[in-house]
Structure 1
Amino acid sequence: MKKTVNASRRAFLTKSTVLATGGALAALTGPARALGDRALAPAVRYHKIYDVIVVGSGFAGLAAALEAALAGRSVLVIEKMPVCGGNSAINGGAVAVAGSPLQQKEGITDSPELMYQDMLKAGRGLNDKEQLKILVNNTNAAYEFTLQHGVEYKPFVQHFGGHSVPRTLQTVQSSGAGITRPLKDSATKLGVMFRTRCKLESFVQNADGRVIGVKVRDGYRFPDEQSGQIRHYGARYGVVMCSGGFSNDLRFRKMQNPKLDERMDSTNHPGATAECLVQMMRIGATPVQLDLIQLGPWSSPDEKGFGYVSQFNTIAGFPHGIMVNPRTGRRFTNELADRKEREDGILAQVDEQGNPEYPICFTTLEGAKQAQSLVHALHYDVAWQFDTLEQLATHFGTPYAPLKEEVDEYNAAVARKGGDKMKKDVSRAVSLERGPYVAVRVWPKVHYVMGGVQISMKAEVLNAADSKPIPGLYAAGEATAGSHGGSRLGSCAVADCLVFGRIAGASAATAAPVTDNSYNAGEI
């Protein structure tokens, strides 16, 4: 369903702004226009020359590849891991869409402007406002794009923390694979080539500094940095970097935030590392806000990685339950606040020695009826079921009287559809008056990097020396900075990847091709 953009929305799109850079690396690892492999470019013989090369096979990479292929370009997608998808394939498959048909069906009033204000508030005003406007005004188009390529969503809208209204749609699989698989299938049908175990080593530039190809390790086996064979692939129109963040790169992430050390688990897959970001900086890309690293406040200390509890909390525990300190039985934050507020509240729950007092998040079976992951969480003993509130309190060693008082106060707010003491939106919540109850323990994990390289509104990577585009280089998704500012709202990353991935792919596909003698040596 297309939405008409009125005059005020056109004005909303065209207001100018300045990028807020926040904390970033103090210096580049090389000069602003480092040579990279530029000196080798005239003599390079390529194993294959394509029109567009995409680095990374998640939401952004697949969207970029599809747009470039639809424009008639030959496309290669390289992925360093054994399978495609990266973090996109293992996330919750939730995408924020402002003004979706499902919202309209459920009588939910929403708009791009409201989503803009929500994201700006969560981002503490550090967002690139022009980039943010492009994102929020294109979520419906991104949603329709996924439908065209076979993605299926659940028939209801979810309310994620920090959003003013329910606007999150989720795949029927409750997984990002519900998006990456159909998009990859469509891309393959359009002739896009995929090479897994293919790791970017560096860029190839011509004498003018244009990115004209990539040097890779083909047959790479993570994490053996010497594995694979060195090869070169040419890109006549451009290289699109959709290489993701670095939440699982302990060395690099500690450089940005020393608090995120060995004690902090991550929800990311093992290959979420910084080498592609470093290579972009080596040829002059502007690093922005790299110290802004988000923790997922819905994670569990009882399981590794993303796990099953994360999906339970986002779809059931937080919107339809409460979270309490196990020692006091008291709530301490709005369960639907933005991620930064919840993260800070949870991390403050420690004893006198600074040891975590893992909060308990619980709801009723009625409140959890849409949480597909609950059956697995119960099976693996990372969630527990109780017939009564007394049993729940006894299991966690929580004082019953204050816990019951918290539940009664919350139920009263639910009954009157407002007035919750933590300022939580309870207008659509369920009562916790009767069990059975289901409960999990909560502790944040490193989840997402808001920072990355600076891009133009055409997804061109910008040079730190003069803020001009680095010719032939584009980027989208978590590899970039700007849309989310100081803290990302849940389900907005998928929207960001799809919107700017499409822009990056289209920009690369419509760029002027390389016309010098860079490819005279031909293919091997």
Structure 2
Amino acid sequence: MKHTTCDFLVIGGGLAGFCAALSAAQAGLQVVVLEKTAQTGGSSAMSGGCLAFAGTDLQLRHGIEDSAQLLFSDMVDVGKGECDESLVRLYTDNQLQTFEWLKSHGVAFYDVIEAASGQSVPRVHNVDPADMVRQLQRAALATGNVQVWLHSRARRLLRADNGRVSGASVELEGQTLEVSARHAVLLASGGFVQDRELIHRFAPQYDNAVFIGGEGNEGDGLRMAWALGADVRDMSYIKGTFGKHPIDEHNHHACLAVYKGAIAVNQEGKRFVDESQSYKLLGDAVMQQSFGVGYQILDHAIMHSGDNQIRILDFTRRLEEGLFVEAQSLEHLARLIDVPQDIFLAEVSAYNDAVRNGRTPWFGRQHLVHQHGELRTIEHGPFYAYPSTAAVFGTYCGVVVDAHLRVIDVFGEPVEGLLAAGEMIGGFHGAAYMTGSALGKAAVFGRLAGANARTPGGELS
């Protein structure tokens, strides 16, 4: 069997993996990045390109006052107290430095998005996600300390005689290769959105959801960690994102007209949720409706309040693609989407009356999204309906890690030599999800894991 050695072995070529590789390479380590598919990027490159940062120059430019402490409070609140606060604090203490670090390596941040869930102030910083990963990969390769191996699948973690993780057994071009790592191995291989059996095991309520993610996200890292006794968290909080068109196969992104004032109704023509909540909670709600589908209902004014620079708010493009159902009256719209006309009209009327008179509509909605925006009536045609289900873009749960990103086993002890970052860690999000926190944690925790690779468990630099 062939054998090779490096200082730091990174399993997974997405955002977390390349942040870790670049960070470790800057510290002088020789790094090998394994990517099982034909190209790097994974689910990171397919995402909406949102990262949650607080206290940035972009926010200041817009007069937005934010802080690490406010970000921490919002994350704990959105996670309903189910998150590991030490991980949330690790994120909030290091996110601003990571933002500046990313910029220093060529990542371009376009602007701050206002319509985002779980935030008391706007803090989602928008990027081209595929370009971000490419830029970090280029920066990592430019150090001369990083190798990227495509079509290389890690199958098993290896342990030295003292129990420390020492490398991995890798399939490469039909052969098995042992790759040893002098300092540490990082699991950054994403979640398991492409493994329906694992999804069913932990979240059977999402059996009929749409699944979108990197083709390599089959739970390899989770299984390899399990084999060494790794503990897991948040498996019961796997959630889909509301707003995915149920039949469109070309647009993989959610449309969130509800965050600009639309309401969500089910096939019975009734509202069923507070539309200002996290789109993960909206995903739970829609999966409980008939056929797992609802409709986002909006009027002319809301349609033209979208933002074509932001994928989730690009209503005009969805309209041009024929994904919206359009009608000149609400009566005609009800017929087109086959909901009971009298119930539907009464529901829209009750909602509009509550908004006009300053009352809280059913389900307690008070804002457009989280704590932002005044509610809008839906009364000026033409009117639109966007068929919407939940799409599972990521699993956001996985192995337990400590504040050094070391994987922790079922007895609460670190698996020596093994780190994890990105989508495959549990305990960070908790019960729900703040927009921008998934890519954010991949960048922040990936960078910190790379900086910590020389002495896992030591002080993070």
Q: 1:74 to 1:435 in 2, by over 3 A?
A: farther
**1:188 corresponding residue in structure 2:** 141
Q: How does 1:58-457 map to 2 (within 5 A)?
A: 58-171=14-127, 173=128, 176-191=129-144, 192-219=146-173, 228-261=174-207, 263-304=208-249, 307-308=252-253, 310=254, 312-313=255-256, 317-325=257-265, 327=267, 329-350=269-290, 355-362=291-298, 364-370=302-308, 371-372=310-311, 373-374=314-315, 376-386=317-327, 389=330, 392-398=333-339, 399=341, 401-402=345-346, 404-405=348-349, 408-409=352-353, 412=356, 422-426=364-368, 428=373, 431=376, 432-435=378-381, 438-457=384-403
Q: 1:444 to 1:511 in 2, by over 3 A?
A: closer
Deviation at 1:436, TM superposition (A): 5.1
Amino acid at match of 2:107: V
Amino acid at match of 1:106: H
Q: Give secondary structure in 2 for the equivalent of 1:137.
A: helix
Deviation at 1:425, TM superposition (A): 2.1
Q: Give secondary structure in 2 for the equivalent of 1:107.
A: coil
TM-score of the superposition, structure 1-length normalised?
Answer: 0.77
Q: Is the 8 A contact 2:422 2:438 kept in 1?
A: yes
Q: 1:64 to 1:272 in 2, by over 3 A?
A: same
Q: Partners in 2 of 1:452 and 1:305 — Cα distance?
A: 29
Q: Give secondary structure in 2 for the equivalent of 1:474.
A: strand
Q: Partners in 2 of 1:420 and 1:150 — Cα distance?
A: 46
Deviation at 1:69, TM superposition (A): 0.8
Deviation at 1:502, TM superposition (A): 1.0
Q: 1:232 to 1:89 in 2, by over 3 A?
A: same
Q: 1:410 to 1:301 in 2, by over 3 A?
A: farther
Answer with 450-459 or 263-272: which moved more. 263-272
Q: 1:374 to 1:320 in 2, by over 3 A?
A: closer
Q: Is the 8 A contact 1:126 1:486 kept in 2?
A: yes
**1:54 corresponding residue in structure 2:** 10
Deviation at 1:248, TM superposition (A): 1.9
Q: Partners in 1 of 2:114 and 2:287 — Cα distance?
A: 26
For residues 438-462 of structure 1, the C-alpha deviation after alignment (integer angstroms, 9 at most, x for no partner) is 5411111223323211112111112
Deviation at 1:274, TM superposition (A): 1.5
**1:500 corresponding residue in structure 2:** 445
Q: Is the 8 A contact 1:365 1:436 kept in 2?
A: no
Q: Is the 8 A contact 2:37 2:215 kept in 1?
A: no
Deviation at 1:330, TM superposition (A): 4.1
Q: Partners in 1 of 2:138 and 2:392 — Cα distance?
A: 31
Q: Is the 8 A contact 1:407 1:433 kept in 2?
A: no
Q: Partners in 1 of 2:289 and 2:205 — Cα distance?
A: 17
Structure 1: gaps of 5 or more residues? 1-43, 220-227, 513-524
Q: Is the 8 A contact 1:326 1:360 kept in 2?
A: no
Amino acid at match of 1:50: C
Amino acid at match of 2:399: V
Q: 1:258 to 1:153 in 2, by over 3 A?
A: same
Deviation at 1:254, TM superposition (A): 1.9
Q: Is the 8 A contact 1:62 1:183 kept in 2?
A: yes
Q: Give secondary structure in 1 for the equivalent of 2:226.
A: helix
Amino acid at match of 2:153: K
Deviation at 1:374, TM superposition (A): 4.1
Deviation at 1:430, TM superposition (A): 8.2
Q: How does 1:440-479 map to 2 (within 5 A)?
A: 440-465=386-411, 467-479=412-424
Structure 2: gaps of 5 or more residues? none
Coordinate RMSD, CA, aligned = 2.7
